[in-house]
């Protein structure tokens, strides 16, 4: 499967509206990671969504929370990428 950033953004947008947005978003990101998504690409994608939803504080807060797991600003066992993969 080839990386498709438009699909990734669409899937994350849908996940961010769900009550279990963190777990759903992480599953999506881990799937794309498995086919070559890098930490920087995931961060860029989430930052683009953050810009898109800047006026919707609740969604922006959700994006920031997911970004914590992507960037490693969480407990090491919850990080999507560990320090050896960066």
**Which pair of structure tokens corresponds to residue 69?**
């797991």
C-alpha closest to that of 49 among 6, 20, 1, 19: 6
The whole-number pLDDT of residue 83 equals 75
> Is 85 part of a structural domain of the chain?
no
> Is 20 part of a structural domain of the chain?
yes
> Is 86 part of a structural domain of the chain?
no
The whole-number pLDDT of residue 4 equals 86
> Is 84 part of a structural domain of the chain?
no
> Is 10 part of a structural domain of the chain?
yes
19-23, 39-43, 81-85 — which is least confidently predicted?
81-85
Q: Is the pLDDT of residue 1 over 70?
A: no
> Is 13 part of a structural domain of the chain?
yes
pLDDT average, residue stretch 5-29: 95
Q: Is the pLDDT of residue 85 over 90?
A: no
Q: Which residues of 58-84 are buried (b: 16+ CB within 10 A; e: fewer)?
A: ebbebbeebbebbbbeeeeeebbbeee
Provide the number of structural domains found in the chain.
1
> Is 37 part of a structural domain of the chain?
yes
Domain that holds residue 25: 5-79
């Amino acid at each position: 499967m080839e990386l498709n950033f438009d699909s990734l953004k669409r899937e994350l947008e849908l996940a961010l509206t769900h009550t279990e947005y963190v777990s759903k978003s992480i599953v999506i990101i881990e799937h794309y990671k498995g086919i070559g998504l890098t930490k920087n690409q995931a961060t860029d994608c989430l930052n683009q969504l953050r810009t898109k939803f800047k006026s919707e504080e609740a969604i922006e807060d959700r994006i920031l929370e997911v970004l914590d797991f992507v960037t490693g600003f969480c407990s090491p066992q919850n990080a999507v990428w560990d320090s050896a993969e960066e």
